[in-house]
Structures are given as C-alpha cells and as structure tokens.
Structure 1
Amino acid sequence: MAKAEDVHRIALALEGTTASPHFDRTAFKVFRNYATLAADGLTINLKFTPDEQELTCLVHHEAFSPVPNAWGQQGWTTANLARLSEAELSEALQKAWRHAVTKKPRR
C-alpha cells in the first residue's frame, strides 16, 4: 500500500521536480504540474493522456478513476494510494512526469 510519504519521495527523486502548495493540495511539477496530492494524503491526481487514462482506468479500475469534470476529460486521473503498491505508484508518477518534462515552459 502506497502512502503520501511515498509520493513525496518518488516524485521529488524525478529530475527537475519541485513541490509547492496548490489550493488545498501539494503540486509536483517540472515545467507544469503533473501530479497533485490531496491534503488528506489518501489520493493523488495524475496527468495522463486521455488514451493512457482510459487504459489505466480499465485495467486498474479499483485504483484509478478519471477526475469527474473537464479536467478528467483532459486526462487528469485520481489514484487511491491505499490500492497501489509503491511500484505501481512509481510507474504512474513516472508516466505523468514524462509528459511534464517534455513540455516547454510557459512564457
């Protein structure tokens, strides 16, 4: 079972990642946010492509679900940390990070 501490440790080990407050959450970003950890430490939202989101939610429906709004239609996906192993969390964070690291910074 993954925990909030695992999110911090894994995300901050990814090159260029910083953590900062984002409303009531903690955001992890490189050039753009790629993950946000809920204040209660129970869930994390991750930025996948819509295709990745669809496949991930289909295969791991017990742990992943689309964010239920327009953000979800853009690929933002909620993961229940209690239903993920550390390895699964690491894989999901790396997937989201890869998208953020390839984005050019906003001007």
Structure 2
Amino acid sequence: MATFGTLEHIVMSFPEVTVEPHFEKISFRVRKKIVATHDEKNNRVTVKLSEVDQEHFSSLNLTIYPVDNKWGKQGWTFIELDKVNEGLLRDVLTAAYCEVAPKKLVEIIKQ
C-alpha cells in the first residue's frame, strides 16, 4: 500500500509542482492551485477531480470517496493513503493534476 513517500514521489514528478503549507496539512500545488493535500494525522490525501473522474475512481475502490459535504459535490475527494495501491494512487493524482494544471503542462505529462 502507499506511503507519504510514494505520494510525494508521484506528485513531485509532475511539472512545476511545489510544496506549501495548507493549514495543518502539506499541499502540493501547480501555479498556486492545489493538486493534493496530505493530512498526516489521518494519513489521508485530498484531491480535486472532475465529476466524472470522482465517480469513476470512487466506484473502483472504497478507499477513494467524495468529501462528505459541499466540497465533495465540487469534486474534492479523499484517498485513504495506507489502503490504496501505488498504481491507482498514480492514476488519481494524474487526473487531479490534469484537472488544475494549465493545458501546456498537461500536454507534457501526456507525451
């Protein structure tokens, strides 16, 4: 199952990602937009997905699910880090990056 190191390795491989604090969490951003946050206390990652991606990934694995409030309806999605495998985590993070990154940067990772 995935670890914080796995999360960090994957998300930092995307172009122009930076690490910044976000309240009591760590956030990974591209051009100031959040790709993912990590909640160390709950060992949970939060990402923003399109409605289609959120539904798709949530249907694949019970460890990926919408945030249970109005944020979840906007695409914000939890990932239980210690219960998700690396391949699925990579796919979800890639979708989240593509959701917020500028098109030129998305084209780089899709090559």
* Bin for the TM-score computed over the shorter chain: 0.7 to 0.9
- Runs (5+) with no aligned partner, structure 2: 104-111
TM-score normalised per structure 1: 0.87
2:90: which partner in 1? 90
SS of the residue aligned with 1:65?
strand
Residue pairs, 1:6-25, within 5 angstroms: 6-25=6-25
Distance in 2 (CA, whole Å) between partners of 1:42 and 1:96 is: 18
1:45: which partner in 2? 46
Paired residues in the alignment total 102
Distance in 2 (CA, whole Å) between partners of 1:34 and 1:73 is: 17
1:22-73 superposed Cα distances (whole Å, 9 cap, x missing partner): 001111110210211102261100110112111211222x211101111111
For residue 5 of structure 1, report the CA deviation from its aligned partner. Answer: 1.2
Distance in 2 (CA, whole Å) between partners of 1:91 and 1:56 is: 9
TM-score normalised per structure 2: 0.84
- Runs (5+) with no aligned partner, structure 1: none
Amino acid at match of 2:74: Q
Query: Percent identity, aligned pairs only?
Result: 28
2:76: which partner in 1? 76
1:59: which partner in 2? 60
Distance in 1 (CA, whole Å) between partners of 2:60 and 2:13 is: 27
* Structure 1 runs (4+) greater than 6 angstroms displaced: none
Distance in 1 (CA, whole Å) between partners of 2:79 and 2:37 is: 10
Amino acid at match of 1:93: L
